[in-house]
Amino acid sequence: MNINKFDEAYYTRYYGDRKTRVAEPIYFNNLARYLGAYTRFLGLKVQSIVDLGCGVGTLKLPLLGRFPKATYTGVDISQYACAKFGWECAAVSEYCSPEKFDLVVCHDVIQYLNDKEAKAAIKNFDSLCQGILYFSVLTEEDYVENCDQSRTDSAVNLRTVDWYRPKLQRYFRNLGGGVYLSRDCEIAIYALEHLD
Protein backbone atom coordinates (compact mmCIF):
# COMPACT_ATOMS: atom_id res chain seq x y z
CA MET A 1 0.00 0.00 0.00
CA ASN A 2 1.33 3.40 -0.99
CA ILE A 3 0.53 5.50 2.07
CA ASN A 4 1.07 8.68 0.03
CA LYS A 5 -2.35 8.05 -1.50
CA PHE A 6 -3.95 9.36 1.73
CA ASP A 7 -3.50 12.97 0.71
CA GLU A 8 -5.75 16.02 0.48
CA ALA A 9 -7.30 14.80 -2.81
CA TYR A 10 -8.17 11.42 -1.24
CA TYR A 11 -9.97 13.01 1.71
CA THR A 12 -11.75 15.55 -0.50
CA ARG A 13 -13.05 12.78 -2.74
CA TYR A 14 -14.19 10.37 -0.03
CA TYR A 15 -15.11 12.77 2.80
CA GLY A 16 -15.43 16.31 1.46
CA ASP A 17 -17.16 16.47 -1.91
CA ARG A 18 -20.90 15.85 -1.54
CA LYS A 19 -21.05 14.29 -5.01
CA THR A 20 -18.46 11.60 -4.29
CA ARG A 21 -18.20 11.19 -0.53
CA VAL A 22 -18.71 7.79 0.99
CA ALA A 23 -20.97 8.83 3.88
CA GLU A 24 -22.87 11.82 5.22
CA PRO A 25 -22.11 13.43 8.62
CA ILE A 26 -25.41 12.05 9.99
CA TYR A 27 -24.01 8.54 9.59
CA PHE A 28 -21.11 9.31 11.96
CA ASN A 29 -23.43 11.07 14.42
CA ASN A 30 -25.73 8.06 14.48
CA LEU A 31 -22.81 5.68 14.95
CA ALA A 32 -21.57 7.70 17.95
CA ARG A 33 -25.10 7.81 19.42
CA TYR A 34 -25.36 4.05 19.04
CA LEU A 35 -21.98 3.47 20.74
CA GLY A 36 -22.93 5.86 23.54
CA ALA A 37 -26.23 4.07 24.12
CA TYR A 38 -24.79 0.56 23.92
CA THR A 39 -21.85 1.18 26.26
CA ARG A 40 -24.16 2.84 28.79
CA PHE A 41 -26.54 -0.09 28.53
CA LEU A 42 -23.60 -2.43 29.25
CA GLY A 43 -22.56 -0.29 32.21
CA LEU A 44 -19.15 0.39 30.72
CA LYS A 45 -17.66 3.73 31.75
CA VAL A 46 -15.80 5.17 28.77
CA GLN A 47 -13.03 7.52 29.84
CA SER A 48 -10.60 6.98 26.99
CA ILE A 49 -11.11 6.51 23.26
CA VAL A 50 -8.63 5.71 20.52
CA ASP A 51 -9.70 6.05 16.89
CA LEU A 52 -7.31 4.01 14.74
CA GLY A 53 -7.05 5.25 11.15
CA CYS A 54 -9.20 8.26 12.00
CA GLY A 55 -8.66 10.14 8.71
CA VAL A 56 -10.22 13.58 8.86
CA GLY A 57 -11.69 12.79 12.27
CA THR A 58 -15.28 12.17 11.18
CA LEU A 59 -15.98 10.53 14.54
CA LYS A 60 -14.06 12.85 16.88
CA LEU A 61 -16.77 15.41 17.68
CA PRO A 62 -19.67 12.93 17.51
CA LEU A 63 -17.86 10.64 19.98
CA LEU A 64 -16.88 13.47 22.32
CA GLY A 65 -20.50 14.63 22.20
CA ARG A 66 -21.58 11.23 23.55
CA PHE A 67 -18.63 10.74 25.90
CA PRO A 68 -17.89 14.31 27.07
CA LYS A 69 -15.58 13.23 29.88
CA ALA A 70 -13.47 10.92 27.72
CA THR A 71 -10.10 11.62 26.12
CA TYR A 72 -9.92 11.14 22.35
CA THR A 73 -6.72 9.97 20.66
CA GLY A 74 -6.66 9.98 16.87
CA VAL A 75 -4.12 7.81 15.08
CA ASP A 76 -3.44 7.66 11.36
CA ILE A 77 -0.68 6.74 8.94
CA SER A 78 -1.38 9.69 6.63
CA GLN A 79 1.25 12.40 6.99
CA TYR A 80 -1.22 14.85 5.48
CA ALA A 81 -3.97 14.06 8.03
CA CYS A 82 -1.56 13.98 10.98
CA ALA A 83 -0.07 17.35 10.09
CA LYS A 84 -3.44 18.93 9.42
CA PHE A 85 -5.40 17.54 12.39
CA GLY A 86 -2.68 16.75 14.93
CA TRP A 87 -3.16 12.97 15.09
CA GLU A 88 -0.52 10.58 16.29
CA CYS A 89 1.21 9.26 13.19
CA ALA A 90 1.45 5.45 13.31
CA ALA A 91 0.35 2.25 11.63
CA VAL A 92 -2.68 0.65 13.22
CA SER A 93 -0.77 -2.62 13.52
CA GLU A 94 2.07 -0.94 15.44
CA TYR A 95 0.58 1.90 17.47
CA CYS A 96 1.24 1.38 21.15
CA SER A 97 0.25 3.20 24.28
CA PRO A 98 1.26 2.81 27.94
CA GLU A 99 -2.41 2.64 28.92
CA LYS A 100 -5.27 0.65 27.49
CA PHE A 101 -8.40 2.37 26.17
CA ASP A 102 -12.03 1.83 27.19
CA LEU A 103 -13.22 2.26 23.60
CA VAL A 104 -11.15 1.33 20.55
CA VAL A 105 -12.60 2.39 17.21
CA CYS A 106 -11.36 1.18 13.85
CA HIS A 107 -13.76 2.15 11.09
CA ASP A 108 -13.14 1.46 7.42
CA VAL A 109 -9.37 1.06 7.62
CA ILE A 110 -8.20 -2.55 7.65
CA GLN A 111 -9.08 -3.21 4.01
CA TYR A 112 -6.03 -1.05 3.18
CA LEU A 113 -3.71 -3.48 4.97
CA ASN A 114 -2.26 -6.69 3.57
CA ASP A 115 -3.07 -9.98 5.32
CA LYS A 116 -0.04 -9.92 7.60
CA GLU A 117 -0.65 -6.31 8.67
CA ALA A 118 -4.39 -6.91 9.12
CA LYS A 119 -3.71 -9.88 11.38
CA ALA A 120 -1.21 -7.81 13.40
CA ALA A 121 -3.74 -4.96 13.62
CA ILE A 122 -6.39 -7.24 15.13
CA LYS A 123 -3.84 -8.49 17.65
CA ASN A 124 -3.02 -4.87 18.42
CA PHE A 125 -6.71 -4.11 19.08
CA ASP A 126 -6.41 -6.59 21.92
CA SER A 127 -3.26 -4.89 23.28
CA LEU A 128 -5.03 -1.52 23.24
CA CYS A 129 -8.52 -2.43 24.42
CA GLN A 130 -9.78 -2.94 27.95
CA GLY A 131 -13.46 -2.57 27.10
CA ILE A 132 -15.20 -2.31 23.76
CA LEU A 133 -13.87 -2.45 20.21
CA TYR A 134 -15.99 -0.97 17.45
CA PHE A 135 -14.74 -2.53 14.24
CA SER A 136 -16.05 -2.06 10.73
CA VAL A 137 -14.33 -3.11 7.53
CA LEU A 138 -15.22 -3.50 3.86
CA THR A 139 -15.29 -7.23 3.17
CA GLU A 140 -15.46 -9.09 -0.14
CA GLU A 141 -19.15 -9.74 0.55
CA ASP A 142 -19.85 -6.05 1.19
CA TYR A 143 -18.08 -4.91 -1.96
CA VAL A 144 -20.28 -7.22 -4.04
CA GLU A 145 -23.58 -6.92 -2.17
CA ASN A 146 -23.76 -3.89 0.09
CA CYS A 147 -21.67 -0.87 -0.81
CA ASP A 148 -22.15 1.84 -3.41
CA GLN A 149 -19.22 0.91 -5.68
CA SER A 150 -19.21 4.33 -7.31
CA ARG A 151 -18.34 5.94 -3.94
CA THR A 152 -16.13 3.19 -2.54
CA ASP A 153 -12.37 2.88 -2.96
CA SER A 154 -11.81 -0.46 -4.73
CA ALA A 155 -7.99 -0.32 -4.54
CA VAL A 156 -8.04 -2.33 -1.32
CA ASN A 157 -7.52 -5.88 -0.04
CA LEU A 158 -10.93 -7.51 0.07
CA ARG A 159 -11.10 -10.43 2.49
CA THR A 160 -14.06 -12.57 3.44
CA VAL A 161 -16.09 -12.45 6.63
CA ASP A 162 -14.71 -15.93 7.36
CA TRP A 163 -11.17 -14.54 7.25
CA TYR A 164 -11.95 -11.93 9.92
CA ARG A 165 -14.27 -13.80 12.30
CA PRO A 166 -11.86 -16.30 13.93
CA LYS A 167 -9.12 -13.70 14.31
CA LEU A 168 -11.48 -11.34 16.17
CA GLN A 169 -13.02 -14.20 18.13
CA ARG A 170 -9.66 -15.06 19.65
CA TYR A 171 -9.60 -11.79 21.61
CA PHE A 172 -13.19 -10.50 21.62
CA ARG A 173 -16.79 -11.56 22.07
CA ASN A 174 -18.94 -10.45 19.17
CA LEU A 175 -21.93 -8.50 20.53
CA GLY A 176 -23.27 -7.74 17.04
CA GLY A 177 -23.55 -4.42 15.21
CA GLY A 178 -19.76 -4.08 14.97
CA VAL A 179 -19.36 -4.05 18.76
CA TYR A 180 -16.84 -6.46 20.30
CA LEU A 181 -16.17 -6.93 23.99
CA SER A 182 -12.63 -7.64 25.17
CA ARG A 183 -12.42 -11.14 26.62
CA ASP A 184 -10.54 -9.55 29.55
CA CYS A 185 -13.50 -7.29 30.37
CA GLU A 186 -15.65 -8.75 33.10
CA ILE A 187 -19.10 -7.63 32.04
CA ALA A 188 -21.79 -10.29 32.14
CA ILE A 189 -23.50 -10.70 28.77
CA TYR A 190 -26.59 -12.87 28.57
CA ALA A 191 -26.10 -15.91 26.40
CA LEU A 192 -28.30 -14.93 23.46
CA GLU A 193 -26.81 -11.42 23.34
CA HIS A 194 -23.41 -12.42 21.99
CA LEU A 195 -22.58 -14.38 18.87
CA ASP A 196 -19.61 -16.40 20.11
Ligand X SMILES: C[S@@+](CC[C@H](N)C(=O)[O-])C[C@H]1O[C@@H](n2cnc3c(N)ncnc32)[C@H](O)[C@@H]1O
Contacts with ligand X by CB under 6 A lie at 6, 53-55, 58, 76-78, 81, 91-92, 107-109, 112-113
Rounded to whole angstroms, the Cα distance separating 196 from 193 reads 9
CB 73 within 8 A of CB 88: yes
**Minimum distance, C-beta of residue 172 to ligand X, in the bound complex (Å):** 19
Q: Which is nearer to ligand X, 76 or 102 (CB)?
A: 76
**Minimum distance, C-beta of residue 14 to ligand X, in the bound complex (Å):** 6
CA angle 180, 184, 189 (to 5 degrees): 55
Q: Which is nearer to ligand X, 55 or 131 (CB)?
A: 55
Q: Which is nearer to ligand X, 45 or 151 (CB)?
A: 151
Which residue in 105, 128, 115, 121 sits closest to 55, CA to CA?
Answer: 105
**Minimum distance, C-beta of residue 186 to ligand X, in the bound complex (Å):** 29
**Minimum distance, C-beta of residue 187 to ligand X, in the bound complex (Å):** 26
Q: How many CB atoms lie within 10 A of CB 130?
A: 16
Q: Which is nearer to ligand X, 107 or 173 (CB)?
A: 107
Q: Which is nearer to ligand X, 112 or 180 (CB)?
A: 112
Which residue in 48, 104, 109 sits closest to 76, CA to CA?
Answer: 109
**Minimum distance, C-beta of residue 108 to ligand X, in the bound complex (Å):** 4
CA angle 20, 25, 30 (to 5 degrees): 130
